[in-house]
Copies of this chain bind each other. A is one copy, B any other.
């Protein structure tokens, strides 16, 4: 590592920005009037409003957030909490797309987005106090585990909270999720439509709601087609590539005759592909494969992977709007929103 001093440019001293008082003086009105103009109150004459707006423009005035926040007891900011252990997910489009959606949904409301990565357990434990100390008006949480009680604590502390995904099917907090079950069903139906009949599935960890839902979708599709669900065709992975390989190996051992696989994530599918190739099976010739997430790897593995896409940006936007809702009308009750998925057909099935 090398470090270099850069040529030092001019550096203005601690610039004091104009206050609301200065604007009032310049516009020849009282502080109250300026405040009203800034906050869009209708009870201001056109003349005053014009004068104030001109003064604001001339001075380049921007309200001091801290001062406002102190009296309104709002911060106009929300936190996005991401357990940092989930860095795996972080590098997927999942996080970034949702964040973009959240950001877009928040921007219109003039809300700031605070990114909080909880590195370890102890840090995570402090979070409830931290977040409730009027630091944020609301909290968005991603990748919440089934046994996580932080959301409940926030709820008890009256901090508006919205989750990405739900912890279980008895989730009481507001949340947004994709139609995992429906998406999986469509994926498997696609395999059935391609003439496949011995369709296996690689599931995620069964203590996660997404994993259970995606397995349910698989079952539903088979049942609707009048096919029996064979337990030997179900192997569990852990959403990692290695887990996908191991599951695929197990499936090939138990049911060498399988002609299709539905993997509950693209990353596991990418592991499965390697294992299939190692076993001499061609994809999709011998075995068709469908993944879930439409992540980056889906486009880049060979063959490009047919996968189920979640409307990530829209999920983010919806999370933002649910949260803004909860903030605006506290006690309105929580809402759950399920968004439809879409099957992206590529060459693996």
Contacts and interface: CB of A to CB of B under 8 A. Distances in A.
A25 interface: no
A119 B104 contact: yes
Interface in A90-119: 90-93, 95-97, 99-100, 103-104, 107, 112-117, 119
A115 B80 contact: yes
Contacts of A45: none
B64 A70 contact: yes
B117 A100 contact: yes
A97 B103 contact: no
Contact of A1 (B92, B297, B334, B338): B338
Contacts of A63: 133
Total copies of this chain within the assembly? 2
Contacts of A107: 119, 123
A116 B65 CA distance: 16
Interface residues of A, number: 80
B3 A335 contact: yes
A338 B103 CA distance: 31
Nearest to A90: B96
A186 to B, nearest CB: 16
Interface stretch (A169-177, A210-218, A229-237, A251-259): A169-177
Contacts of A116: 112-113
A278 interface: no
Interface stretch (A33-41, A47-55, A154-162, A194-202): A154-162
